[in-house]
A and B are shown apart, each in its own frame.
Chain A
Amino acid sequence: MTQDPNTRAEVEPTEIGANAAETGERRLEDTHDVTADHEVPIGDLDFAAVAEHGHVAAERDPDAPAVLTVDNLKMYFPVKSSGLVRRTIGQVQAVDGISFEVPKGGSLGLVGESGCGKSTTGRLITRLYTPTGGSMMFEGQDLAKLSNREMKPLRRDVQMIFQDPYTSLNPRHTVGTIVGAPLEVHNIVPKKQVIPRVKELLEVVGLNPEHYNRYPNEFSGGQRQRIGIARALTLNPKILVADEPVSALDVSIQAQVVNLLQDIQREFDVAFLFIAHDLAIVRHFCPEIAVMYLGKIVEIGDRETIYSHPHHPYTQALLSAVPDVKQAAVGGRRERIRLEGDVPSPINPPSGCRFRTRCQFAQEICAKVEPPLLQIGKRHKVACHFAGELGAHPATPVTTEILGVDDQGSAVPGATPAARLSIPGYEKTWYDLDTKQTAGA
């Protein structure tokens, strides 16, 4: 859940040292390449110059190979009974069989509402939790199967940026200790070189490198998030899991941090798993997006498809719920799909399609058969029996042939359901909804 920064102590004076670093009044001669990119010199505040530092939405590199391949990942948390003997009486199916790929140097966005399992997914990939099932292939090794000891060298490559910059930094450690700790833990550089490396990293994230011996409370929220980013970058990771990296920050600071992350991605070729509930930020940062609901991916695809041609009723509802600044020109509120009620409990999720209890298109089949995550476009998969564009959802289920069931979801004798439907990446061919045939590029 996000914490709103704007209500934090209204009268709190801005921290010391805040302005010097954040506005970049210092400018060292010998700076890292990126530094020049995203820090705005305060001396000549000029709109054109500042605009140069702002980025347009990130693009997808079509040739990038997958750096992380997640297949059928599951995380069930046991629910214990009360009483004398604490038996396991159920499971919270926080993540239930999700598959996706994160391209090298690219970003996959993971969106969904609280409790959908997106944060759990991030914690699984960084192995803060050990998954119940499935695999996470990274550089030829399955992160899901490694022991904690085997995982240790790989932690260098998989790092995390946390949501709350106020609680994720130890207040008793200096910035230098926080950022340099991974170097010492992994014994990467001689002790003498830790401080120079820390300074270099602070420079990269746009902080004054001379502030390495200050404590986190001397920095503003945005600066603390930069410290968190510097710490994540310390070991030159190949993949960064960013869990709501900007939602605790002030609006004007959010853009600074998003731009910084884009700079870092370009410069270091880091892949991002970008977890956020803010659909607009995700759209800006990620060329590819997966939408989660109650532990499952319901739709995944490239930006254009997900935001302009969503086929899942939940994605459509989610997008229509986002308040739109452009509405000011028209006045009043946009027509939107109203979702009633709350998300059901993940302990006892609905049978079949998990979204059916709140879906206006739900029919008998939705309760009986779980819809597969079916590829319906070049880079578009959707898990819905009635997948279709808004206002054009089909009257009969589109998945019957593949699943070998009739329109009510009962098995058709003799029909053979397709063996395996959900793979992490995309196939060359897909099921075309209009022709009901397999199509290809």
Chain B
Amino acid sequence: MRGATHAKWAACAVAVALAVSACGGGGGSSSSGSGTVSASWGDPQNPLEPSNTNEVQGGKVLDMIFRGLKRYNAKTGAAEDMLAKSIETTDSQNFTITVNDGWKFSNGEAVTAQSFVDAWNYGASLKNNQKNAYFFGYIQGYDKTHPDTGKQTADTLSGLKVTGTNTFTVALTQKFSTFPDTLGYVAFAPLPKSFFSDHAAWVAKPVGNGPYTINSYTKGSEMSLTKWDDYPGDDKAKNDGVTLKVYTDNNTAYNDLLAGNLDLVDDVPAAQLKNAKSDLNGRYINTPAGIIQTIAFPFYDPKWNTSGATKVRQGLSMAINRQQITDTIFQKTRTPASDWTSPVLGEKGGFQEGLCGKYCDYNPSEAKKMVQEGGGLPGGQVKISYNADTGSHKEWVDAVCNSINNALGNDKACVGNPIGTFADFRNQIGQHKMPGPFRAGWQMDYPLIQNFLQPLYYTNASSNDGQWSNKQFDNLVNQANAETDTGKAISLFQQAEGVVRDNMAAIPLWYQNGSAGYSDKVSNVALNQFSVPVYNEITVN
């Protein structure tokens, strides 16, 4: 009978649902065992190859499973020898690198000079589509393995030579005194043979030489890493493992932390900062990181490249109340910027507080005057473009605009221009379609003043999105790079930075801190200068 079968089916469904909810309701954080830390994560954008990972989320994993020649001290940022026994040079152009004995990959294979040379050759070879390939651009032979156009004529870099089990030499195309300090970047990590022999399997479950090994990886959802007991280094993991959980919305991650469902959130949403300290009972850290936010300008647009436009840019800079915005919107997790580098470099590294001078001080009346003297806002209105899909950019852009509007006494002097996706944002920048100033954030690759200036302001540099070009600046940078004495090099870079200031090539906004909250289950949580948690130091209570 049809009715009867229907009824039976319904009853079944009810029973099943009740049963499931009864079993499923109680269980919670089943994935994290006693000694493991669960932490928030984002889905990496690129395959997890060292020379292909250029964003923080993939970088987190590689930082746990790889150790390079150098490692940046989590507190001071100094590049310290890790796998490198020595890196020697007499002319700042040819380097002899010796690798320490006794290092292994977690599959048992020894880490040798060949592991590095193979990895670097892989990264520099055009056919492998590695997005960090330009890191090898100083090495001789790069123009053959990675030509700008056409097919590559060599598969290996002629500047790399293995001279012994543990030694190899590097020949650069020009003098680059601080080259050894860049070797802590993840792109320079060594790779095991299995990476080349069974690439698909390696990418599905990467194998490295760091303190953790990957236990399981559910793509787009979760990665579980366990402590590698035989790790030969002295920075062994102090917990049993780390479970990285992918979150699309950092508000959800924060809510999970509050509910005790997660141990560590390394990206506390701006809206929650106000309450974070009290919410978390002090389990909240706020550490300076090598990140600076600026507003860049489309110098390819004639309107922004007039002689008066410098004054307009300086005026806009003075119209921004940095202190109020960092205090209110960011709850002091940003520091108003007064130069174009980052405090994490330290005075010795080239950071110069107050370099910007009065142009970075809030002064609404002077700002209005400057903008008028410069010929007014191009087109009568500035549109600050940003991508709306990631980061809480809308909040600060709106605040910056309100600050400018209030200073200039015009409700519509400045409006935010959200662009739907990051890809489209980068696309419009690449095609020189920006209708006005745009958000520019810079996270250092390695803690050197060079990294804050050259990629951003050198003519045609990879991140010189506004196409700013200045001969004087370029010359100073060239001189600085060729300088073998670090102190002199830094002072030349600082002179170059002065050129940036005089032209207001970009408006510095604030230095960004890393902020993180953690549960009462863990302690000893710290962020390094790349605002990445130092996972191996975390202890589980």
Say if A and B assemble together: no
Interface residues of chain A, those whose CB is within 8 Å of chain B, are none
Interface residues of chain B, those whose CB is within 8 Å of chain A, are none
